[in-house]
């Protein structure tokens, strides 16, 4: 069984999503906890600003039991209260496959067709695979999701307009600020989101830019690309008063900018400031919005611009859905056909044994020519009936989907094998 348990911007506000946010360092400890609590050990955990999703495979429990156990482990690890259950969603097998493919294609994103999600999925998959957390089914599933994401973007017009949370945030700034060339920007966090925000602001003509990151080397690499200043993370407080726009996008699990920090910065300047928090959990104390001359925007505040972009992409999204359904059905066929392998192997082994036993009856023949003829004919008959039985097996079980028929066939050949061993 393939399953997914998740929470996203579609089902929960940011204060609930941040409860279930995972840093990379938490993934392996959580996997150990999940294995201990449920016995389920094959997983990929995806955690972004808009979603946290746990993809897993298991054959130990029925669907209901599996999702109950995984949900409890998920909540317990994050110390979430019972109320949080109503914000979680789950899907199984073909529906779980389609969901992942839709996520990879950007159809589940706040900005339909955005590019950043595919990189985030790849990072999550590689991290979990390197940690030994993925089995053959998950490996193939995620590799196929990359194909789904690529085809959806290259074969449709889904990439029209702004393509990321970063670019939407920049678009919002442009709408609210005049004389961009006279303004100054500070970006805190130089990962993908922060770097994209900086890149887009430079394209829009922002006057002066600066970056801060916990790792100065990473900050310097990004700064060199965009001719930005680099400041120490310890100078964050002092740098707040020097900039008109502050964008924060880090993986920190707590507030990096507090109300007191902004209040101190505002005490030394009369300039209006825009703070944009692209982090989940949030890195900016939401109470700063109560201060004069300060505007704060978080991920969920970008929805108005998102809606405008969504209208442009609806037709392309319908085409992408067709591509995703096709790929998901093909993957599902591969998964269910795997259940036929034990029966097919047993059929082949049984007929191979019959073939060997029949040859034993012709040992007394001295003519090599006749022996070769008997061997060739017996092998031909064995292979023919093997192919026929396998063909019928696939038809009777609907290529492995009809588990009741498959169980009967497995038991039948198991019985034949036992009888053969007795003789």
Residue 158 DSSP label:
T
What burial letters (b/e) apply to 329-340, b meaning 16+ CB within 10 Å? Answer: eebbeebbeebb
d(CA 107, CA 118): 11
| pLDDT-derived band at 115, boundaries 50, 70, 90 | confident
pLDDT(371) > 70? no
pLDDT digits (tens, 9 = 90+) for 150-175: 999 888 877 765 557 788 888 888 88
Judge residue 241's burial from the number of C-beta atoms within 10 Å of its C-beta, 0-12 exposed, 13-18 middle, 19 or more buried. Answer: middle
- What is the pTM for the complete model shown? 0.72
d(CA 409, CA 369): 39
Measured in whole angstroms, the distance separating CA 411 from the mean position of its chain's CA atoms is 38
Judge residue 395's burial from the number of C-beta atoms within 10 Å of its C-beta, 0-12 exposed, 13-18 middle, 19 or more buried. Answer: exposed
Mean pLDDT of 246-267: 93
pLDDT digits (tens, 9 = 90+) for 335-356: 877 767 777 777 777 777 776 7
49 is catalytic: yes
Q: Determine the pLDDT at residue 402.
A: 58
d(CA 418, CA 196): 64
Query: What does the mean pLDDT of the chain come to?
Result: 86
**Active-site pick, 49, 84, 128, 173:** 49
Indicate the SS3 state at residue 183.
Answer: coil
Asked whether the beta carbons of 210 and 230 are under 8 A apart, the reply is yes
Q: Determine the pLDDT at residue 353.
A: 75
Between 373 and 371, the more confident residue is 373
How far is residue 355 from each of residues 124, 319, 345, 350, measured CA to CA in Å? 49, 52, 15, 9
Q: Determine the pLDDT at residue 417.
A: 46
Mean pLDDT of 304-309: 69
Q: Determine the pLDDT at residue 366.
A: 65
pLDDT(423) > 60? no
Other Cβ atoms within 10 Å of 405 Cβ, number = 15
């Amino acid at each position: 069984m393939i399953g997914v348990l998740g929470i996203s911007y579609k089902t929960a506000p940011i204060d609930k999503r941040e409860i279930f946010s995972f840093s990379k360092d938490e993934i392996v400890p959580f996997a150990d906890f999940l294995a201990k609590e449920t016995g389920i050990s094959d997983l990929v955990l995806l955690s972004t600003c808009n979603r946290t999703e746990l993809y897993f495979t298991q054959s130990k429990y029925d669907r209901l039991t599996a999702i109950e156990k995984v949900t409890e482990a998920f909540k317990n690890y994050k110390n979430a209260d019972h109320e949080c259950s109503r914000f979680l969603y789950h899907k199984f097998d073909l529906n779980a496959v389609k969901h992942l493919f839709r996520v990879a294609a950007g159809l589940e994103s706040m900005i339909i067709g955005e590019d950043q999600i595919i990189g985030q999925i790849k990072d999550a998959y590689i991290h979990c695979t390197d940690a030994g957390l993925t089995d053959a089914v998950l490996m193939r599933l995620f590799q196929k999701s990359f194909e789904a994401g690529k085809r959806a973007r290259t074969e449709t017009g889904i990439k029209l307009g702004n393509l990321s949370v970063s670019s939407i945030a920049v678009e919002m700034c442009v709408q609210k600020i005049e004389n961009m060339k006279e303004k100054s920007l500070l970006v805190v966090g130089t990962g993908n989101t922060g770097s994209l925000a900086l890149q887009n602001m430079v394209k829009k003509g922002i006057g002066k830019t600066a970056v801060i990151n916990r790792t100065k080397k990473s900050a310097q690499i990004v700064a060199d690309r965009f001719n930005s200043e680099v400041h120490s993370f310890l100078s964050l407080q002092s740098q707040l008063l020097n900039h008109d726009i502050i964008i924060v996008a880090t993986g920190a699990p707590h507030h990096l900018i507090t109300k007191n920090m902004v209040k101190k910065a505002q005490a030394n300047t009369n300039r209006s400031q825009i703070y944009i928090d692209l982090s989940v959990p949030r890195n900016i104390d939401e109470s700063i919005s109560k201060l004069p001359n300060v505007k704060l925007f978080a991920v969920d505040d970008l929805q108005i611009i998102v809606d405008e972009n969504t209208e442009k992409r609806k037709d392309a999204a319908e085409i992408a859905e067709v591509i995703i359904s096709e790929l998901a059905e093909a993957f599902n066929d591969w998964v269910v056909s795997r259940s036929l392998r034990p029966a097919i192997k047993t059929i082949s082994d049984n007929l191979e044994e019959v073939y060997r036993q029949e040859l034993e009856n012709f040992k007394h023949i001295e003519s090599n020519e006749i022996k070769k003829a008997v061997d060739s004919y017996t092998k031909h008959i064995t292979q023919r009936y093997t192919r026929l039985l396998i063909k019928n097996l696939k038809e009777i079980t609907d290529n492995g989907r009809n588990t009741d028929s498959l169980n009967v066939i497995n038991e039948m050949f198991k019985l034949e094998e036992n009888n053969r061993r007795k003789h």
